[in-house]
Amino acid sequence: MYEFTQFYIDGAWVDPVKPNTVPVENPATEETIGHISLGSAADVDKAVAAARNAFESWSQTSREERLTVMRAILSEIGKRKEDLARAVSDEMGAPMSLANGPHVGLLSGHLQTTIGILENFEFERQDGPTMHRYEPIGVVGMITPWNWPLNQIACKVFPALATGCTMVLKPSEIAPLDAAIFAEIMHAAGVPAGVFNLINGDGPGVGTAISGHTDIDMVSFTGSTRAGIAIAENAAKTVKRVAQELGGKSPNIILDDGAFAKSVARGTTAMMNNSGQTCTAPSRMLVPAKRMDEAKVAAKEAAEGVIPGDPKGNSTIGPVVSGAQWDKIQGLIEKGISEGATLVAGGTGKPDGLETGHYVKPTVFADVDNDMTIAREEIFGPVLSIIGYEDYDDAIRIANDTEYGLASHIAGEDIETAKKLAPRIRAGRVAINGAYDMNAAFGGYKKSGNGREWGEFGFHDFLEVKAVMGYDA
């Protein structure tokens, strides 16, 4: 049983101002596996005061001092990998292969990338007689989601540390266990008191207090577009910077070439990864209309090869994170059927033999029109929509016909065509044949947010630019 009923504030574990203990559920078993406390505005005040006090010294540390701390964090992560993976699997139902691999791997991977960038980052740049200085923005409020919890902590905490900021982190109350272990890692690594603070809580109780706090200089949020809008509205009163990584409905353009069947199969499998709970998931597969029947065959075979089941066993995917999420997904699958899409694989209800746990059948719809609900809304489950296009101009039109613009995908053997199509897609990322790069900028166009994370681009949101004129008169 996990018991994390205290908050990490000013270098110590402290009781909440007002006790409010809630259970944490394992979505694979629907059993309570631990407890956390939900914080309040009073807890946020304490954490922000600690971060504000620590900023005076941490912001003045040298590059080497910060590197020493960050290398110590990397060492401590190595000691707690198994604990982190087990927590992620228990709290969100990720198969252990996924928890041990990408979930924990992204945490250390982002830190290694951040260390490499910090070693050479130019915090001063002379332009003629003017010195431009990049200085830490101050105290950062961080609100992270449950679907890739360690990844999103890493994307915010590590560049903030590297640039000299201090912070207050609110992880998702649905999947909070990994964040508590992360706080233990930060403490063991010797991160100075007040630099990193952790408060558990929900949006109304803690998220609102963070986004509107007068002594927080920036809010970095990852989550739904709906919540992002509310946070931006609340933050506007204090004119703080707001960086947001929000929803997505990513197109996956399958090229009309010899790799068609392979590309469809790969795209279907990718959609199901992490039980479809990925904001960049290739949820709208665009195929040549004349090859729709081929796509149905390849996608059906791929989907039927995805095995939902016990995260501690040999399953391909686990459950979705909660009963509320399961209900939402079921409603959208029903909507796809009622609006006339062709159900190729999966459907409503739980997979055979998995009555306990929030399991969803890997589901594929074909003959989808881009105006259907399943093509417009972010389902956040293992549900793929296949849409037909007439030619590449039509594919680009459909790809861009969405309020989102977080990511996009192009698959096929004709790389030159892919390179020509990529600049025409209105999204923050284009992945050709599943390419992946830890240094690549991450963030969205349109209602998918603003600002960028990952690599060197992730430093800039945490920095202010100061011009010192007459520096070299």
For 377-411, give one letter per residue: b (16+ CB within 10 A) or e.
ebbbbbbbbbbbbeebeebbebbbbbebbbbbbbb
**Are 336 and 385 in contact, with CB atoms under 8 Å apart?**
yes
Report residue 2 as tokens: 């996990």
Q: Look up residue 291 and give its DSSP letter.
A: G
**Residue tagged 């029947």 (tokens):** 293
Pairwise CA distance, residues 355 & 349, whole Å = 9
Phi, psi of 291 (to 5 degrees): -115, 20
Q: Nearest CA to 425 among 297, 275, 250, 258?
A: 250
Q: Which of 25, 173, 245, 378 is catalytic?
A: 245
Report residue 306 as tokens: 């995805």
Pairwise CA distance, residues 248 & 327, whole Å = 20
Q: Which of 279, 355, 453, 456 is catalytic?
A: 279
Catalytic residue flag (residue 56): no
Report residue 161 as tokens: 């540390």
Catalytic residue flag (residue 378): no
The set of catalytic residues is 245, 279
